[in-house]
Structure 1
Amino acid sequence: MVEQIDDVQTGRQARPFGQDPVEDGQSALQELLSDPAHDYRVFKYGDVVEGQVMAIGRDEILVDIGGKSEGVIPSREFSTLSPEELARLQPGDRILVFVMQSEDQAGQAVLSIDRARQEKSWRRLQEVYEAGEIIEAEVVNYNKGGLLVNLEGVRGFVPASQVIAIRGGDESTKQADMARMIGSRLKLKIIEINRHRNRLILSERQAVQEQRDAVKAQLIETLREGEVRRGRVTSIADFGAFVDIGGADGLVHLSELSWSRVKHPSEVLQVGDEVDVYVLSVNPEQKKIALSIRRTQPEPWSRVASAYNVGQLVRGTVTQLANFGAFARLEDGIEGLIHVSELAGWRVEHPREVLNEGDEVIVRIIRIDPARRRIGLSLRQALEAADEEIEAALGPEGVAIKQQLLDRGITPYPEEGDSEPEDEPTAELDEEKAEAESETPPADNGEGA
């Protein structure tokens, strides 16, 4: 048997003659790998891991991520760190890094803070997209099609059609609108996300609409019929005006704008006007709110009996011509009908023969029916009155209006060859028909936005 020989130089015990060196090497490797002091992690491209900052230099940052050696972050890979963030970074801090290369020629892993931030942002954006949440982002630039926004390292695109502040018109106007928005912050909704194609599309319009819908749903739960709210006119249509009453729009139908006859909302309102509105109805299922402006004001007919008398001379403005006569407004919410038999001293086939809408007239009240909200008026009887009576009742302006009407050929006297018109027995029936024809259609309660 051969004796064992010690290696004096290395201090290692010599192998007994005849032992397999390969088997000996494998045993040593297994022993090294099983030693907890050498429990190294193996990384690959795309891993996002947390590490501890070991040293900070001008051109690189060394980070311990549990590998065989410290990883290195080149300066080009921490460009998203602001000067303030870089100044606050200290050895011992823990940061998230992205593995760009598992090992370089020096045996170090190449890491990136920028890519880690971007990857973290993509994961967060995916969660936001799936949850349908609203996010906020800064506009950093624009191109021909829309705005570019930054979301913590991820570039998103907002098409021009999805931006509220971008007006229509020619291309130069659109480009000018987008240029002015650089640096502003927008609330956005993700409408498309594709991490592999680096594609992120967002919409401001959808974000704003969803927020308004949520506010409206909450408002509808608390809104009660009969309430009076302060609101702002947001848009005007032929059938009425929309008023924002705290994050939700309600409709004021044409018939609810004023006690007076209104042909178009633009006659009494403009976009941006602040108004008090009365809540007519709330429809939670259809999410519609019907409002009224006129019901926040005193009902004019409640004072007709005390303000007007049969035989009284009053001024009026012609508001509408019907087959059977002309309607004249005496004050807001109070109109009377001048029947065709009461327009002039001769037989008038249609009011347009003597009057136009908008004409100022003097009339005598010949009938009052507060219960049915009707007042009968006579132009010819007012023109028959002496100037002294008109001036006493209406002042010099009344006399001037009488003279203007006479100058236009409207007289209380029959034309040559014509007989003075008699009161027709159908006058009241004609008045009812004419008034019915002129009435504004009922409100479509809750044509809300």
Structure 2
Amino acid sequence: MDGMEEAAERPEEQARATPRRQDAQSGLNPEVSNTAQDMGALLEQYEETQHTQLRRGELVEGTVVLVDRDEILVDIGGKMEAVIATSELQNERGEMALRRGDHVSAVVIVPENAEGRPVISINRARAEIGWRDLQAKKDSEEVVTGEVVDHNKGGLIVSVDGVRGFVPLSQIVELRRGGSDEEVEEKLRSMRGQTMYLKVIEMNRRRNRLILSERAAAQERRAQQKDRLLSELQASEIRHGRVSSLTDFGAFVDLGGADGLIHLSELSWGQVQHPSQVLRVGQEVDVRVVGVDRENKKIALSLKQVEENPWTRIEQKYHVGDTVPAKITKLAQFGAFAELEPGVEGLVHISELSDERITHPKQVVREGENVQLRIIKIEPQRHRLGLSLRQAEDAGGYDYGGGFEAYSGASYVLDSGPSGSTTTDGEESEEEHAPPPEEPADTVHALPHEQSEPAASEPAANGTARVPER
């Protein structure tokens, strides 16, 4: 009985339970719908108020949507477009700085102006980005480029990546030291608008301080150019360069990134006592590369090897038996060296200086004297010439037909020689060449003897061979 009663009651309970579940389900839908509506309203409200939530100094990005003479509008994602500061509407040439569709980065200056628009600045954004880029380049020691925009008495003001920096006078390459204030001012003024290669040597973002150096950048770039040049140079190449400095041992030539050395012995085929006899600073020259030391980064150059070696045509120009003009260049115990032309030098052995017995060439000739010599031997392969003073004196004539330019077609006239050697009246001015007191002033004897008059073969008072009278 009880079971039947319970069974009879279950349909009613089930009937009562079903409406309750339906009521619960029907009550859920309005809640979900209300939640979705609330989220949409919040999103719309956020979009409406986004432009008012911008902060001064905030970096934003956007696209230019309007460009006219009065304003430039940029879509930065809010309900209201941002407007660019009027000071940035035009560039230095008076042209509109931006075009529609340009993508820009800017810094918020005013979150909301009177019209409800944010005011932004591209220049400030460039500066902000520039500071970050400059810090990275300083850390990596990179070279940067900057435009000279102004100057003061202390140096140049430059714009680098949108940031204004300062280049002190001591860090400007082209500025000469010791110049007057007017010269410095004129030079600084003339550099306005130029682009400079610089390195950051000091920066402080908080203090808005940026110090740069052109000298450091030049050294950096020169080191890079030198490495490149050293890898390219090959021995025997002809290169064009500019003389950068002169020293006692040679001349340095800038090849466009690296300096090479022309040793004193490679300046000329002739005798050179100092590079200033051949070259001057700033002179442009062609040189031959004679050696490249990549490990020690040294370059050896030659100026004379660009020209023809005069010994290659010596046999065509000179012949044994010719009497030629020459200049005494050096005295040694065994004889005297004489130069016929630049690069062609021969030896007058001591036995060929005089018919008299002498103990040193200085008893007959002096350095710098111009004399007539006879060629007695030619060895082109060994670059040797045998010369004779006494044989030229014995020949008594000027039979040289080689066409030596300095003397061709003209009678030979003895030069006065170096200062202090021979005076205009033919008397010796050096004590070592002065005649003994008892002898006539115009006679110099190789060795003391009893002749009161010099023989035709004896040296004259000026040290050159006396030409016999005909």
TM-score, normalised on structure 1? 0.71
User: Please, which of 398, 401, 421 is the counterpart of residue 414 of structure 2?
Assistant: 401
Aligned to 2:253: 243
Q: Which amino acid aligns with 1:189?
A: K
Aligned to 1:269: 279
Q: What is the Cα deviation at residue 156 of structure 1?
A: 2.1
Q: 364-373 or 209-218: which moved more?
A: 364-373
Q: Which amino acid aligns with 2:272?
A: V
Q: What is the Cα deviation at residue 217 of structure 1?
A: 2.1
Could you give the per-residue CA deviations for residues 94-145 of structure 1, whole angstroms, max 9, x where no partner exists?
A: 4322112434677543322221222233333334434444333332222222
Q: Which amino acid aligns with 1:96?
A: S
Q: Which amino acid aligns with 1:198?
A: N
Partners of 1:356 and 1:295 lie apart in 2 by 30
Aligned to 1:97: 106
Q: Does 1:201 align with 2:211?
A: yes
- Structure with higher Rg: it is 2
Q: Is the 8 A contact 1:96 1:113 kept in 2?
A: yes
Structure 1 residues 93 and 185: alpha-carbon distance in aligned structure 2, compared to 1, 3 A threshold: closer
Aligned to 2:147: 138
Partners of 1:94 and 1:396 lie apart in 2 by 83
Structure 1 residues 396 and 71: alpha-carbon distance in aligned structure 2, compared to 1, 3 A threshold: closer
Q: What is the Cα deviation at residue 292 of structure 1?
A: 1.7
Structure 1 residues 138 and 34: alpha-carbon distance in aligned structure 2, compared to 1, 3 A threshold: closer
Q: Is the 8 A contact 1:121 1:153 kept in 2?
A: yes
User: Please, which of 385, 390, 393 is the counterpart of residue 398 of structure 2?
Assistant: 390
Aligned to 1:417: 449
Could you give the per-residue CA deviations for residues 54-110 of structure 1, whole angstroms, max 9, x where no partner exists?
A: 556766544442346444444246576752124x544x6543221124346775433
Partners of 2:342 and 2:195 lie apart in 1 by 46
Q: 117-126 or 56-65: which moved more?
A: 56-65
Higher relative contact order (CA 8 A, sep 6+): 1
User: Please, which of 168, 171, 174 is the counterpart of residue 162 of structure 1?
Assistant: 171
Aligned to 2:61: 50
Q: Which amino acid aligns with 1:183?
A: G
Q: What is the Cα deviation at residue 358 of structure 1?
A: 3.6
**How many residue pairs align between the two structures?**
392
Aligned to 2:239: 229
Structure 1 residues 28 and 328: alpha-carbon distance in aligned structure 2, compared to 1, 3 A threshold: same
Q: Does 1:129 align with 2:138?
A: yes
**Aligned ranges 1:433-448 → 2 under 5 Å:** none
Partners of 1:34 and 1:402 lie apart in 2 by 107
Partners of 2:124 and 2:306 lie apart in 1 by 60
In structure 1, the gaps of 5 or more residues are: 1-26, 422-449
TM-score, normalised on structure 2? 0.68
In structure 2, the gaps of 5 or more residues are: 1-35, 402-406, 429-441, 456-470
Q: Is the 8 A contact 1:383 1:412 kept in 2?
A: no
Aligned to 1:447: none
Aligned to 1:362: 372
Q: Which amino acid aligns with 2:264?
A: L
Secondary structure of the corresponding residue to residue 130 of structure 2:
helix
Q: Does 1:116 align with 2:115?
A: no
Aligned to 1:210: 220
